[in-house]
Structure 1
Amino acid sequence: MKIKHFFTFLSLIVVFSAAAQSSKEAVLFTVGNDSVYASEFIRVYQKNLDLVQDESQKDVDAYLKLFTSYKLKIKEARSLGFHKKPGYQKELESYKKQLAKSYLSDSKVTDALVEEGYERMTNDVNANHILVKVSENASPQDTLAAYNQILKLRERALNEGFEKVRKEVHNGKTVYGETLGYFTGFKMVYEFESVAYNTPVGAISMPFRTRFGYHILTVIDKRKSEGEREVGHIMIIAKSDANDSIVKKAENRINEIYAKINQGETFEALAKQFSEDKNSAPKGGKLRAFSRGQLSAEAFENVAFGLEKVGDISKPFQTKFGWHIVKLLDIKLVPDFKTMKPELITKVQRDSRSKLIDQALVDNLKSKYNINDDQLSLSYFESILNNDYFKNSWKLPTDFISGKTMLIIGNKKITYQDFGDYLIATQRQSRKQMPIKTLVEEKYQVFLKNDLIAYQEENLETENLEYASVVHEYRDGLLLFELMENTIWNTAQTDSVAIKNHYEINKLDYFFPERIDAVIATSSKKKTLKKVSKLLDANQDLESIKSEVNTKDAIEVIFTSGEFEADHQGLPKGFEFKTGISKIFKHNDAYVVVQVKEVFPKKQKSFYEAKGQVVNDYQVLKEEKWVDELADKYEITVNEAVFKKVKEELK
């Protein structure tokens, strides 16, 4: 099972978390012999209140029914042994390891880096740089040569000008001289970002090193971040791979709409009438706010950020999705720190600055477990190591002191054998010659870090209540997913006969709704539509009507042709489906008249046409019956006195 499928599942159900409960807490209900405590129910109800889409689920009585159903399923999953399956255990361990990363960090250092990151994200830097490439594992001679080269280039840049030197020395192989444009926090490696933000405008930095080599940079400008833009748009779909006639038709359509904007009709009304973005059209074209680089259409971003004043409207333009007109609704600066903090924490943990957090964590764990930095055993390992190690041919001596204790982390004893095994396992990674003392010290620091973090991770569930609660939540959620997938969701393959019978019994529930083949004429002027109505009634063809009521300079009427259901955005609510020319309606801040050519009556769907809906309905019915069976199998007893107190508290 893929993790992404599991998270999709979690988004569709109410997630229930449960930490270990005290035996003194009041029992709300029992499932078989298992007790569920009032405090757990209250915590889960309050936690998921904002996630609830169905208002009825906010009713405490209804929520109790939902919660008992959930607990019944968990009880059944354990009874069937789903929690013992290797796939389940593997995925749970993988999640625990991933989750532990959020808890295995130094909060003070993280907070400082998060605050610094926020400050940088609110400001953009425009910088150019020169890079002398050198490998992280380069020899001391090559490293020194690269450093001396960058020093000389800095001297030249100070005397001759940075831009002149940058252009002259760039060869795209060993030396790079690049213009970077504006960037903000988290867009560059941390070392580079820090130098850029700490260098004054117009100054040239001192040489500094990243994993790519040695750099110098000059800062051209600094400015406040552009933040986000909130826009509305009108879109006519014509994807980049569409044929020329479709693209041309879309272009003509968008130009007609733009002409109506210039004639004084409102952007929002036209978006409701004609935009083919079905999500934003009912809202007058309004989109969610976005920042630079957030959309997959750079051309759209450039137009949106190019509008200067709220209310400005762009000319029609094309993206890979089709043709657009954009209206600027709001300019939003970078959100406040509190809003951005969760996102910034994630960025910091994934960024190269995470090394600073790791080191702070190791220092704290050393203190917590009383680990002495003066490790006397290292002198023993210095005595047994030799240059064979750099040739990947070193072995532990025959008289190796394997059982001696090297250090103790909590209740775990680390022996000489453990460190000796680590040296053997990582021998292949150490081909670069260095003093044996330096080698042993470096190896030990990495070994110690790994063991400290591993021990903390192994004991995190008993030491951190929040972590324990989240793990328990995932453990049960994953278990429920396994159960539902095997018991209910795979019915399309296993219950084909029952599904077809469900269709036959409930056939009248599955049908195509009534539709019309029609032309919808829309205009801001009722008088113009009266003329259109007469022309349509006279059976004049659509193109000649267009040429009669519209001109190159003035688009008075926009026509939409096709098959429509009753809820189409162009049709007034309650529109009667009958052939002929309708009366003129006021709709979406404009006027419409409809020519109905043909009415397609409500039509029964065949089994294959309705199969997806039938399977879904059958699964819902099957789950309801299954839960009733579980309630008979595992008796549920609710403590009504406790539940009464719970309801009073939740009020």
Structure 2
Amino acid sequence: MKLFFSFIIALLASTQIFSQENEEVLFTLNNEPVFTKEFLKAYEKNAELITESNNKTADYLELFVNYKLKVKEAKELKLDTFPKYISELEDYKNRLILPYLKDADVTKKLVEEAYQRLQKEVNASHILINMKPDSSPKDTLNAYNKLLEARNLVLKGEDFTEVAKKYSEDPSVEQNGGNLGFFTGLQMVYPFENAAFTTTKNEVSMPFRTKFGFHILQVHEIRKARGEVEVAHIMIKKEDLKAEKKIDSVFNMLKVDNSNFSELAKNISDDRASAINGGKLKRFGYGEMIADFAKVAFEMKEVGEISNPFKTKYGWHIIKLINKYPIESFDEMKAKLTQEIQRDERSNLIGKSVIKKLTNTYKIKVNKEALNQLETEDYRNELNGFDQELFKIESKTIFQKDFIAFLKANKFATINSAFNSFKEQEVLNYYKANIEFVNEEFADTYKEFKEGLLLFDLLEKKIWEKSKDSIGLSNYFSKMKPKKYIEKDFKSIKGTVISDYQIHLENLWIEDLHKKYRVKFNSKEKKKVLKN
């Protein structure tokens, strides 16, 4: 029965008047206006949900008035001030607001860009100088200049691999000379991907920064992407002569009958994680697997084909090709790409775009004197009296002490870079705090949940808890037995009786609410509404 009442709440709590100037009043509730627009908006959204009615509009209007009475009662009881209610509402608002913190145009461009990059695979080498995000300007400049020095050596003709071994702080450089093999879109951090896909073949990029530090890269080859493959493999870990003989023995058995590949993998393969699945691996793209393994897998042509034994740093392998997967169409990949982009580093661009638009929209006034004080005096020394107004966003004032708390909780190379981040954070906070007053779609959805949650608590108190009263339920059954439950045993229809009893309790409660609060219709508007 709770589901029924929840449905009615959702049915009615589906609209909010966004601007109430010059709007017609449909009725007043203790002199508080309820507008025609609000009713019509709710009715248009939910009318098809009211069935078996000769006069849908009149029936819905009755439900709507009763709904407003319940909301009024919940607020009179101050249920909206309870900590549990406030906490649940805040959690919901934080989830609801997420889509409104994204720029749809920027998201669209990033999704299209990602799909285009997935059509290619790039082979590149890089040189890395490690650098923390909060490194000093001096350290940052030194790293940048060091990479310019390395770049100039390559441009003068020195081999990139040798320069990488001399300069790079990537731990793997001794093994790979800085070469990362082939990779496609969404496989590298976004700044690195950008540099790789915008640098032409054989060219060396200018230094660029990622979360790992500063890099330069050289692009060796660009080719059409190969999609994904799904394979099973048998692996023998060791690389000695005994292991080679064992893998050759397995290969000879497979040449006679490759239908038992799965059983052999289960019994022989040293990769126990895949062995239990007959050696089957998760489908992968070229850059998602070690190069030696990927090269063999992607060169196989026919489904069911068995590779010759080959060696990687993990041991000896034999691969069976299960399937090849070409790159899907844009429409097929769009939803997945959108999710991936919103999870990775490029989502910052989406948020930055929103903040930039907000910054240009809001009136923001910075107190330069107060900011200069923080740059020239020690903000950790409370005796310096940092109590000035730092800046304003519209009518909201942010003080020096607010920024100082931010500085103590975060690390930045300079006060100026910290202030820019703090200002962006406060702009976003202001937007989130005021979104329901400027975005009608958000306001409608938020109010729907806000009032629905409020009425859920009220109905639980007024109806559901009371219906658990065994004496009241028994009395109701006895009273209604001659009319509704003739020759029926209570136990056999207990669920039905409870449901009927809840409806009975609600009807009595609504009668009381009509007595408690005065509903006065605007007759002209009511006639207009009922004609629809």
**Given the alignment, which residue of 15, 22, 25 partners 2:23?**
25
Q: Is the 8 A contact 1:18 1:472 kept in 2?
A: yes
Corresponding position: 1:44 with 2:28: no
Deviation of 1:448 (Å): 2.0
Residue 45 to residue 34, structure 1, CA distance change in 2 (3 Å): same
Asked if the contact 1:130–1:176 (Cα under 8 Å) also holds between the matched residues in 2, the reply is: yes
- The alpha carbon displacement at 1:423 in A equals 2.6
More helix by share: 2
Residue 646 (str. 1) matches residue 529 (str. 2)? yes
**TM-fit CA distance, 1:473:** 3.3
Equivalent residue number for residue 516 of structure 1:
none
- Where structure 1 has 5 or more consecutive residues not aligned to the other structure, the ranges are 160-167, 226-298, 303-331, 511-603
Rounded to whole Å, the distance in 2 between the matches of 1:617 and 1:135 is: 69
- Is the CA contact (8 Å cut-off) linking 1:196 and 1:219 kept in structure 2? no
Partner of 1:287: none
Say yes or no: does 1:221 pair with 2:224: yes
Aligned partner letter, 1:472:
K
Question: For the residues of structure 2 that align with 1:114 and 1:410, how far apart are their CA atoms?
Answer: 31
User: Once the 2 structures are TM-superposed, how far is the Cα of residue 37 of structure 1 from its aligned partner?
Assistant: 1.5
Count of aligned pairs between the two proteins = 410
Structure 1 residue 46: deviation in Å? 2.1
Deviations 1:405-454 (A, max 9, x none): 4434323444xxx3255335533543x8x5xxxx2112221232233333
Question: Which structure ranks higher in relative contact order (CA pairs < 8 Å, sequence separation ≥ 6)?
Answer: 2
Matched AA of 1:355: N
Q: Work out the percentage of aligned pairs sharing the same amino acid.
A: 27
Q: 345, 351, 359: which one pairs with 2:352?
A: 359
2:451 is equivalent to residue 476 of structure 1: yes
The answer on 1:375 being equivalent to 2:368 is yes
Matches of 2:222 and 2:211 in 1, distance apart? 21
- Contact 1:77–1:479 under 8 Å retained in 2: yes
2:211 maps to what in 1?
Answer: 211
Aligned to 2:89: 92
SS at the partner of 1:13? helix
Correspondence 1:13 to 2:5: no
Q: Does 1:631 align with 2:511?
A: no
The letter of the residue matching 2:422 is F
User: Which amino acid is the alignment partner of residue 40 of structure 1?
Assistant: E
1:369–1:123 distance in 2 versus 1, CA, 3 Å? closer
Question: Counterpart of 1:573?
Answer: none
TM-fit CA distance, 1:111: 1.1
The reply on whether 1:443 has 2:418 as its aligned counterpart is yes
User: How many angstroms apart in 1 are the aligned matches of 2:466 and 2:95?
Assistant: 33
Q: Which runs of 5+ in 2 are unaligned?
A: 163-170, 229-279, 284-327
| Distance (Å, rounded) in 2 between the aligned partners of 1:407 and 1:117 | 36
Q: 1:204 to 1:377 in 2, by over 3 A?
A: same
- How far the C-alpha of 1:41 sits from its partner, in A, is 0.9
Asked whether the 8 Å contact 1:405–1:413 carries over to 2, the reply is yes
Mapped to 2, the partners of 1:219 and 1:507 lie a distance apart of: 85
Which residue in 2 is equivalent to 1:395? 381
Aligned partners of 1:53 and 1:219: how far apart in 2?
Answer: 61
Q: TM-score, normalised by structure 2?
A: 0.58
The separation in 2 between residues aligned to 1:11 and 1:171, in whole angstroms, is 68
In structure 2, the partner of 1:309 is: none
- The alignment partner of 1:352 has SS state of coil
Q: CA deviation at 1:336?
A: 9.6
Within 5 Å, give how 1:65-464 maps onto structure 2: 65-100=62-97, 102-103=99-100, 107=103, 110-118=104-112, 120-121=114-115, 124-125=118-119, 127=121, 134=130, 136-137=132-133, 140=139, 169=172, 190-191=190-191, 194=194, 206=205, 209-211=209-211, 221-222=224-225, 335=331, 351-371=344-364, 375-385=368-378, 394-396=380-382, 398=383, 400-414=384-398, 418-420=399-401, 422-423=403-404, 426-427=407-408, 429-430=410-411, 439-464=414-439
CA distance in 1: counterparts of 2:525 and 2:366, whole angstroms: 55
Q: Give the superposed CA RMSD.
A: 5.5
Cα distance between partner residues in 1 of 2:482 and 2:148: 83
Match of 2:244 in 1: none
Q: 2:463 aligned with 1:488, yes or no?
A: yes
Deviations 1:523-549 (A, max 9, x none): xxxxxxxxxxxxxxxxxxxxxxxxxxx
Judge conservation of contact 1:123–1:223 (CA < 8 Å) in 2: no
Q: In structure 1, what is the Cα distance between the partners aligned to 2:373 and 2:469?
A: 69
Q: Secondary structure at the match of 1:60?
A: helix
